[in-house]
Amino acid sequence: MSAFMSAFANLVGSLADLLQPLFHGASTAAAIVLFTALVRLAVHPLSRAAARGQKARTRLQPQIAELRKKHGKNPERMQKAIMELHAAEKVSPLSGCLPSLLQMPAFFLLYHLFSSGSIGGEPNALLSHDLLGAPLGGRWHDALAAGGAFGGNGLVYLGLFALVLAVATFSYRLTRRQMAANPMTPATGPDGQPLPGMGAMVKMMPLLSFATLITVAVVPLAAALYVVTTTAWSAVERAWLYRDVYRDRDTAASGGAMATAA
102-136: pLDDT as tens digits: 888 999 999 999 999 888 788 999 999 999 999 99
Mean pLDDT of 230-256: 76
Task: Measure Cα distances from 207 to 45, 88, 164 in Å.
Answer: 26, 34, 13
* pLDDT confidence bin for 182, thresholds 50/70/90: low
Please determine, for residue 243, whether its predicted confidence score (pLDDT) is greater than 90: no
| Residues 6 or more apart in contact with residue 184 via CB below 8 angstroms | 202
What's the pLDDT score for residue 190? Answer: 42
For residues 64 and 71, what is the distance between their CA atoms, to the nearest angstrom?
10
Task: Name residue 134's beta-bridge partners.
Answer: 131
Average per-residue pLDDT for the chain: 81
* pLDDT confidence bin for 195, thresholds 50/70/90: very low
| C-alpha closest to that of 34 among 50, 51, 20, 48 | 20
For 182, what's the count of Cα atoms within 13 Å in the CB-facing half-sphere?
A: 18
Q: Are 229 and 36 within 8 A, CB to CB?
A: yes
Q: Are 113 and 8 within 8 A, CB to CB?
A: yes
Task: Measure Cα distances from 181 to 59, 65, 236, 242, 248 in Å.
Answer: 12, 17, 18, 11, 8
Count: domains in the chain:
1
Please determine, for residue 161, whether its predicted confidence score (pLDDT) is greater than 90: yes
Residue 159 zone, left/alpha/beta (φ > 0; ψ -120 to 50; rest):
alpha
Task: Name residue 118's beta-bridge partners.
Answer: 123
**DSSP-assigned letter for residue 148:** -
What's the pLDDT score for residue 206? Answer: 60
Task: Tell me which residue range forms the domain holding 237.
Answer: 2-261
pLDDT tens figures, 64-100: 778 777 776 777 777 787 777 777 766 666 666 777 7
**Distance of alpha carbon 105 from its chain centroid, rounded?**
14
Measured in degrees and rounded to the nearest 5, phi and psi for residue 131 equal -125, 105
For residues 245 and 175, what is the distance between their CA atoms, to the nearest angstrom?
11
| Residues 6 or more apart in contact with residue 152 via CB below 8 angstroms | 132, 133, 134, 146
Please determine, for residue 260, whether its predicted confidence score (pLDDT) is greater than 80: no
Mean pLDDT of 32-57: 89
